[in-house]
Structure 1
Amino acid sequence: MLPTTPVATTSPRPTTSTTTTISTTTRIITTTTTTMTATTTSTTMRIITTTTTTMTATTTSTTMRIITTTTITYVPSRWLNTTNMNFARNAHTASVLTNGTVLIVGGASSGNTLNSAELYDPSTELWTKTSNMSDGRYWHTASILSNGKILIAGGSGTMGVINSAELYDPSARVWTKTGNMSNARYVQTASTLNNGKVLVAGGYGNGSYLNSAELYEPSTGVWTRTGNMSVERYFHTASMLTNGKVLIAGGLGNTGFSIITELYEPSTGVWTKTGNMSDGRYFHTATTLNNGKILIAGGYGYYGYMNSAELYDPSTGVWTKTGNMSDGRYGSTASILSNGKVLVAGGSGSSGYLNSAELYDLSTGVWTKIGNMSVARYAPAASRLTNGKILITGGYTFSGQTNSVEIYA
């Protein structure tokens, strides 16, 4: 792992000796710790200074010895660089496989649509090319099936929006075509249900926003239509709830930025409206918290880039506003950490592409800014590794798509 700024540690140990006469035996230990924060152009570092003073006096030697030790340690922020991908890309997908490696698929790069795929091994920090898909695509979906295979569906390709789907077998490292969806669509959502099927909903295709949804059956490779959502939408979010239902929130459609949210019941194939969000938004993030609530953050709405966030409680069907982020952003990533906090990073805001990141604390409802990424990036992908670290890949930067990768440790 390569820190974005080198770690520097210095340990000066000045020693001063003084002789005096006293009549009793005394041992005094004083420790002072000072914490300061320093910011460089590439990262934020905490400077911790510890000073320990020990004074010992004895009547037999009538000597007092004063030893003062000062240690200064530069601790970098928790963003670390790792090796670059083989291809620069954004609007791609990233899936953590059962063996812990990360599969990156498709995306866009320099006006081209990519069919390439590559694997990241966290233990070696190396990228390996794997076989290519049949169809290049971006803004597609990737779903992990119960058999460990990855289902890639839809997206936009060289000839426009596509309905094709293909499967990646991690053990053989090969792609196989599977059944086509009923509708060509991109920027849809895909959710792996508890019954093993994959629900694809919404998106954009055939010149219009979509409210249609369909199910993929892994055992047959066949797609079947299921109930339609109440409104058309794309760039929305889908979240699996603990009760097995799927929550769809926000998005852009024929009626503008949607505040409407709805639930899909897998046992009946029926959609039911639930409470409305406070703010209509699209290209936001949705994170399932450890308490089962859903955190919606950022996005773009009627008043531009949004920094607001709200919580959905599945037990009541009610949305509640929570603390605002420091930066309005859309096209960012959101990842839940092992401590239950949510990391939001990157995206695009009023000042352009963002390298800023912040943490949401559920216990307080407060966002806290942390160190910046080394690269400002819009529409990257984020993966939570098996060791709990967060891998951020690619994205669109001020100079185009990037192949750079960073880790939040």
Structure 2
Amino acid sequence: MKTKTVFLLAPLLACPLAAQDNATSQLMTYGTTAGGTVDVFLSGVTPDSTTYILADTGLDLNNNTFLQTNFGTGDSQDTLSITGGPTFAAILSGTSTPSGTFPLNGLSLPGTLPHGFEVFWQGFTQHPTPGVDFFQDFSNYRRQVIHDGVQWQDTATLPSVAVANLAWAVKETGLNGRATKVFVCGGGPALLTEDTVPYPTSVTTWEYDVATEEHRAMDDMLESRAFHTVTRLNDGRLLVCGGVTGPFGGPPPAQYFTKVLNSAEIWQEGVGFSSVGPMNGYRAGHTATLIESGPNAGMVLIAGGVEGDVNHELFGVDEILSTGVNSTELFDPATGNFIAGPNLPEPKAGARALWLQNDTLAVIGGVTWRQIGPFKLPDFSDMATFLDPNTMVFGNTRNLLAKRALFGMVELPNGNLVLAGGAGGDILNIGPIADAELFALAGQQFISLPPMPGAVAFNGIAATPTSQVVVAGGAGGTIFDPVPVKSVYQLDALGTAWTTLADLPVEQGGGVTELLEDGNLLVSCGETGVADTATNSTVKLPVQ
């Protein structure tokens, strides 16, 4: 039974026992609209225990000692991260379930709460034994921000750097299988390199915590990089591979360039980064996907990418268009080594890859090239190829309806894929496209969708639990001169029409786009409207 109640606990004598660690349970809220409802879910608590969830309008990161002071527990860990005491804005109590959870559903949010109003939540359990064991299972604090459902809203803090062409991975997930923590690493000042402008790459990494809406600095990478990948392994470690590092060369009239990397490193909680590899090939703009079934389950397939010129250097777009590779390799987390994988049917860079619900790995689109005599003719790919994890052979190729690279691709709840935007056309007519299409998993075919209201490449994309698709930001202009945009489009669940949502506060292309556990869409960093300049703008919008 869960009730809204008052705090009627009697003071107890202190007992000198060992203190528990704070923040050992997890609390998340769902719902942010004034006048609507909010669900609160507390997990990781002692089963069948008296449980409290407190809410108030302030945060006290210096540790609120209300429990210690008023109930004499003698435990220095009995601290709250929210303000309040002896009264709180809300006090809810009941008994945790046998599985150690405490759900509260359909709580009313006052209709008078303004957009941007903050509510802070925290939970814990009470136990029969007096002393240090009286209060246990303290949760993280949860920052809930009231939203009008229309405007983009800033997160509580911003990343410490402004970068584009970064890499990110979902580090932890919640009850709904969506991100509760997002790991972000590296990046550069713009979407593409130019030989007239230096391209400094970053070693910086950080974590975005959905519960607190804050960014936490993490360990620096061993090597600065952009146009790279990061993949979460089954044991929670994070594999960072390849990319470019810079700047090198210059100043004018000498040309600037970056170097394509064959290095890789792994991040581990409490340890930081350590080197692995190197990879068998030099790669940037590749894909790196966890294999989820078959004899190589748990390994990562790294596929395609550009290798640069003979010295593995990139001066600009020309090398990106003509130095793609068709090789792949497997990373084995057990040994830390890379081994050769099956070749792709064609060279690919700027492709997209996903593990599908039918237990195959799809690698789709990208920048490719064809050999015409002694010449390489760059082109955009319309090929989708699928890896069988049991035979480790690519096959079952299908043709997209539109050639595309550097596009958005997302999986719907039913296993189908939506592809939207990207750079496309042919070598004589290169530019962003508005075309969208659906890959039907059951029929193994591509089906046309309505075009987006605007043509974009480098766009972010996400799918909601109700099968709506949101495309955020990206860049118009040309492939040689991308122009970041603010536009946000949403495709209805039937795939019949796009609508235009509120613009992002600033132009953003080539940053993070991730649907979060609480139903907000996160858009962070990317190149912005000032040429060769990135932003650290980080905003969210409810899209459920």
| TM-score of the alignment, normalized to the shorter chain, above 0.5 | yes
SS in 2 for 1:394: strand
Contact 2:463-2:470 within 8 A present in 1 as well: yes
**Alignment partner of 1:200 is 2:274:** no
Match of 1:191 in 2: 289
Supply the distance in 1 between the matched residues of 2:489 and 2:271 (Cα, whole angstroms): 36
User: Partners of 1:150 and 1:378 in 2: how far apart?
Assistant: 24
Q: Which amino acid aligns with 1:215?
A: L
Please say if residues 165 and 188 of structure 2, whose CA atoms lie closer than 8 Å, have aligned partners that are also in contact.
yes
- What amino acid maps onto 2:333 in structure 1? P
| Structure 1 residues 364 and 260: alpha-carbon distance in aligned structure 2, compared to 1, 3 A threshold | closer
Q: Residue 106 of structure 1 aligns to which amino acid in structure 2?
A: G
Q: Is 1:90 the equivalent of 2:188?
A: no
Measure, in 1, the Cα distance between the counterparts of 2:541 and 2:475: 19
Deviation per residue, 1:208-241 (Å, 9 max, x gap): 2111111111111111111101110111111211
Mapping of 1:133-212 within 5 angstroms? 133-158=221-246, 160-169=259-268, 171-172=269-270, 174-194=272-292, 195-207=297-309, 208-212=323-327
SS in structure 2 at match of 1:382: strand
* Partner residue, 2:144: none
Alignment partner for residue 107 of structure 1, among 167, 182, 187?
Answer: 187
Conserved? CA contact 1:95–1:383, under 8 Å: no
Measure the CA separation in 2 of the matches of 1:187 and 1:145: 20
How far apart are 1:317 and its partner, in Å? 2.1
What does 1:9-408 align with in structure 2 at a 5 Å threshold? Answer: 75=148, 77-82=150-155, 83-98=157-172, 100-109=180-189, 111-158=199-246, 160-169=259-268, 171-172=269-270, 174-194=272-292, 195-207=297-309, 208-255=323-370, 256-302=379-425, 303=429, 304-350=431-477, 352-399=483-530, 400-408=533-541
Mapped contact 1:274–1:317 kept (Cα < 8 A): no
CA distance in 2 between partners of 1:248 and 1:198 (Å)? 14
Question: Aligned partner of 2:188: which letter?
Answer: A
Tell me: CA distance 1:283–1:364, structure 2 relative to 1, closer, same or farther (3 Å): closer
Q: Which letter maps to 2:421?
A: G
Q: Shift in Å at residue 189 of structure 1?
A: 0.7
**1:275 alignment partner AA:** R
3-state DSSP of counterpart to 2:518: coil
Displacement of 1:76 after TM fit? 5.5
Contact preservation (8 Å) 1:239, 1:294: no
Identity of aligned residues (%): 27
Query: TM-score, normalization: structure 1?
Result: 0.79
Give 1 or 2 for the bigger CA radius of gyration. 1
C-alpha displacement at 1:91, in angstroms? 0.7
**Once the 2 structures are TM-superposed, how far is the Cα of residue 403 of structure 1 from its aligned partner?**
1.1
Q: Which moved more, 1:381-390 or 1:331-340?
A: 381-390
Contact 2:163 2:187 in 1 (8 A): yes
- 1:330-363 alpha-carbon deviations (Å, 9 max, x no partner): 0010011232211110011149321110111232
Native 8 Å contact 1:346 1:356 kept in 2: yes
Higher mean C-alpha displacement, 114-123 vs 84-93: 114-123
Alpha-carbon distance between aligned partners in 1 of 2:34 and 2:465, rounded to the nearest angstrom: 28
Q: Deviations over 1:367-403 (max 9, x none)?
A: 1111111011111111222223221110001221111
| Match in the other structure for 1:23 | none
- Give the counterpart letter for 2:340 in structure 1: R
Count of equivalent residues: 338
1:33-91 Cα distance to aligned partner (Å, 9 max, x none): xxxxxxxxxxxxxxxxxxxxxxxxxxxxxxxxxxxxxxxxx946142112221011111
Aligned to 1:25: none
Any gaps of 5 or more consecutive residues in structure 1? Answer: 1-6, 10-73
- Relative to structure 1, the CA distance from residue 362 to residue 173 in structure 2 (aligned partners, 3 Å threshold; closer, same or farther) is farther
Deviation at 1:101, TM superposition (A): 2.2
The answer to whether the Cα contact below 8 Å between 1:307 and 1:324 also exists between their aligned partners in 2 is yes
Which one has a larger percent strand, Structure 1 or Structure 2? 1
Q: Which runs of 5+ in 2 are unaligned?
A: 1-32, 36-146, 174-179, 190-197, 247-257, 310-322, 371-378
Question: Which secondary structure does the structure 2 equivalent of 1:108 belong to?
Answer: coil
Of 95-104 and 213-222, the range deviating more from structure 2: 95-104
> 1:131 & 1:405 partners in 2: Cα distance?
21
Asked if the contact 1:96–1:385 (Cα under 8 Å) also holds between the matched residues in 2, the reply is: no
C-alpha separation between the residues in 2 aligned to 1:273 and 1:210? 20
The question of whether the paired residues in 1 share the 8 Å contact of 2:485 and 2:529 is answered with no
Following the alignment from structure 2 to structure 1, what is the Cα–Cα distance between the partners of residues 164 and 515?
A: 18
Show the counterpart of 1:40: none
Distance 2:298 2:149 in 1: 43
Q: Please list the CA deviations of residues 85-127 of structure 1 after superposition, one character each: whole Å capped at 9, or x if unmatched.
A: 1011111112222272222100013831101111222222222
Using the TM superposition, give the Cα deviation of residue 136 of structure 1 relative to its aligned residue in structure 2, in angstroms. Answer: 0.4
RMSD: 2.1
Distance in 1, Cα, partners of 2:326 & 2:363: 11
